[in-house]
Amino acid sequence: MDRFAGKVAVVTGSTRGIGAGVAKRLAAEGAQVVVTGRTREAGEATVADIEDAGGEAVFVRADMRDPDDIEALFDATVEQYGRLDVLVNNAGVETNTGIEEATMDDWAFVVETDFRSFWLCGKAAAERMDTGAIVNTSSNHAFLTMPKLFPYNAVKAGINGMTRAMALDLGPRIRVNTVNPGWVAIERTMGDMDPDYRAQIESIHPVGRIGRPADVAAAVAFLASDEAGFVTGTSLLVDGGRTAVMQDDMLPDYRARRGQLGDAVPDANASGEASGDGGSAPAEDGE
């Protein structure tokens, strides 16, 4: 596949997890990819994976809480590749805090990383794009949520609104959409998960499993590609049907059903570390 041949993409929060999966997918489809995050070692490892697979990428260190770093990131992108075609706003952190426990520091940590940076990156990208696409990573927490995830859940709902605003203000030159993942197998939230609890989580997804970074990356690649040329200002849930559920105790065990079907149910061709979009301690920027 060469949907992004000759195109340049910046993926924020791409040193690990979903972001790394997106960077690898875009590179596999021909994009020259700028990997970025706060941890150089992890970022360079992602670049090495891309290069080992025959793709092209470079790492630029940037802290999404620092407006100067953001400007420098996009300057470096244009200096390196001479253009910019795709931005994937993916950097994200969260705190295990509710409305009453959250502090001003918690608020600043999440809002500046997960929300303000999306605006600043979108603005910087638009100034350097002729035409292109922006994909913002939100979450199924934009629609349904759980306790002790404030302000993360509020910010994720805000991203959907920001996407609509961007789509109106930047169209038709730049299309802007949101991808909303649910439980995804990344280490940030599932690395230490009890196997029985993981089985329970899998059983309440209508597809009978937890997602993988490649599931989200495939959706991002579609939204960023010319195939989605008539799609802008929308939010795409990639959550295995989880948000379609109203009441868990009414569900069959979808994991068991999946096992009965065996190879009849296709799987994404993806590797992914184990964890999900549902609650963890503050972490390195990256969904």
152: exposed, middle or buried (Cβ count in 10 Å: 0-12, 13-18, 19+): buried
Separation of alpha carbons 233 and 3, rounded Å: 21
| The one catalytic residue among 81, 152, 197, 254 | 152
54 Rama class: left (phi>0) / alpha (psi -120 to 50) / beta = left
CA angle (18 as vertex; 281, 149 as ends), nearest 5: 30
Q: How far is CA 219 from the centre of its chain?
A: 10
Phi, psi (5° rounding) for residue 175? Answer: -90, 145
For residues 213 and 137, is the Cβ–Cβ distance under 8 A? no
- To the query of whether residue 152 is one of the catalytic residues in this protein, the response is yes
Measured distance CA(153)–CA(201) in Å, rounded = 19
Question: Quick one: which of 221, 220, 196, 210 has its CA closest to 278?
Answer: 210
Give exposure, 207-224, as e/b (b: 16+ Cβ within 10 Å): bbbbbbbbbbbbbbbbbb
Burial of 94 (0-12, 13-18, 19+ CB in 10 A): buried
The residues annotated with a catalytic role in the active site are 152
